[in-house]
Amino acid sequence: MGKAEISNCIRRLRFEKGQMTQQELADKAGVTRQTIIAIEAGGYSPSLTLAFKISKVFGVSVGEVFQYGG
């Protein structure tokens, strides 16, 4: 069984939401900037709770932020 691949479009969404910084997103989602950097780079898959928090910040569904390509 292969490793699950979860991709995201956080970077694009941040820019669509008025050039939101990684720190601003981190503050709104209740995590560190380092966590956002790791998720954006694909090096870390967020918990389901965090995925929902991030999607809520952008006002979109979880599926519009994260894609599963396993």
**Is 5 within a domain?**
no
Kindly state whether residue 3 falls inside one of the protein's structural domains: no
In a domain, 1, yes or no: no
Q: Please provide the average confidence, as pLDDT, over all residues in the chain.
A: 93
63 within domain boundaries: no
Say what the pTM is: 0.89
| Size of the chain in residues | 70
Q: How many domains does the chain have?
A: 1
pLDDT digits (tens, 9 = 90+) for 12-43: 999 998 999 999 999 999 999 999 999 999 99
Range of the domain at 50: 10-58
What is the domain-level CATH number for residue 50?
1.10.260.40
